[in-house]
Structure 1
Amino acid sequence: MTRAPSLSGHCLCGAVQIVLTDPAREIEICQCAMCRRWAGSFYSAQTGEKAEIDGEESIGVYRSSEWAERAFCSRCGSNLWYRFLPTGGRSFSAGLFDEAAGHAIEKEIFVNERAAWCRIEGDHLRQTGEEVIAEAKAAGFTFD
């Protein structure tokens, strides 16, 4: 995976500004029903080694499951990030970053839950929800 020095982005109204240091040059797509409901189609995730966030007073957080929370701008409603609570790791909405529009897809997960109108072409890794959960459990995470 190649990385750039940094990637800057912001929510729709600009109240929340995010700079990712050492961002991935590929994005991950999640097709699970929860992400589809949250994002309106699929969730495109941009990651980086470190995130600097300005405008934290405009950030709302919703705990969407026992293991995850999702953040949004409380002024304009833009989705900001998904946080996996066991590790604290965040994936940011790729749509926040103009430069991410040119990034390739690394992988697509929960493909067994995707809507018929969310089919994505291309040669990238595709995993079912069962495969993703099995991979996470093998890494030591529990979802009970």
Structure 2
Amino acid sequence: MTEPNVRTGGCLCGAVRFSVPLDALHFSACHCAMCRRWGGGPMLAVDATAPVTWQGEDAIGRYRSSERAERCFCKHCGTSLFYYSIKKGQTVLNLGAFDDQDDFTMESQIFIDEKPPGYSFANETPTLTAADVYALYAADPS
């Protein structure tokens, strides 16, 4: 069995740092209106399948953006750090917060039906609509 890749990252000012072991170096693009408003474009998101180790947790701000999720950021510099799924207890890290992004590959795109026409990714990836994403959450027994 191979060891997971331990990756590090943090915010612009350095007040928040993290490390996380990842089984795979994949990211997804979320085109939902909230992610686009939060980060100025689609969120390039890395699902943290293992617990994240944080330094500077007191500098993490949380905004409850819906009944399902929190958007988390550095209170000092405003860097968008992660999305937290309340229902699943899942942390989804912003790809841009990682120190080294070279080996990551795009795996999928979600909320593709909310993507504005002004941009497209060249990658051929599976795509899910908002209805597809909500159906996945509804089917999840946790």
The reply to whether TM is greater than 0.5 is yes
Question: Matches of 1:5 and 1:130 in 2, distance apart?
Answer: 33
1:102-143: CA deviation from partner (whole Å, max 9, x where unpaired): 4111110000001222311112111111111112212247xx
SS of 1:13's partner is: coil
Which aligned segments of 4 or more residues in structure 1 are displaced greater than 3 angstroms? none
**Aligned-pair identity (%):** 35
Match of 1:96 in 2: 97
Q: Does the 8 Å CA contact 1:82/1:92 hold for their aligned counterparts?
A: yes
1:1-144 mapped onto 2 (5 Å cutoff): 4-48=4-48, 49-140=50-141
Distance 1:97 1:3, change over 3 A: farther
- Per the normalisation by structure 1, the TM-score is 0.90
- Per the normalisation by structure 2, the TM-score is 0.91
SS of 2:51's partner is: strand
Unaligned runs of 5+ in 1: none
RMSD between aligned residues = 1.7
Question: Matches of 2:71 and 2:3 in 1, distance apart?
Answer: 25
Q: When the two structures are aligned, how many residues end up with a matched partner?
A: 140
Q: Does the 8 Å CA contact 1:111/1:127 hold for their aligned counterparts?
A: yes
Question: Matches of 2:102 and 2:75 in 1, distance apart?
Answer: 24
Question: Matches of 1:3 and 1:13 in 2, distance apart?
Answer: 30
Question: Matches of 1:3 and 1:126 in 2, distance apart?
Answer: 29
Greater shift after overlay, 63-72 or 18-27? 18-27
Quick check: which one's helix share is greater? Answer: 1
Greater shift after overlay, 128-137 or 115-124? 115-124
1:61-100: CA deviation from partner (whole Å, max 9, x where unpaired): 0000001001100100000110110121110111011322
Question: Matches of 1:99 and 1:24 in 2, distance apart?
Answer: 14
Unaligned runs of 5+ in 2: none
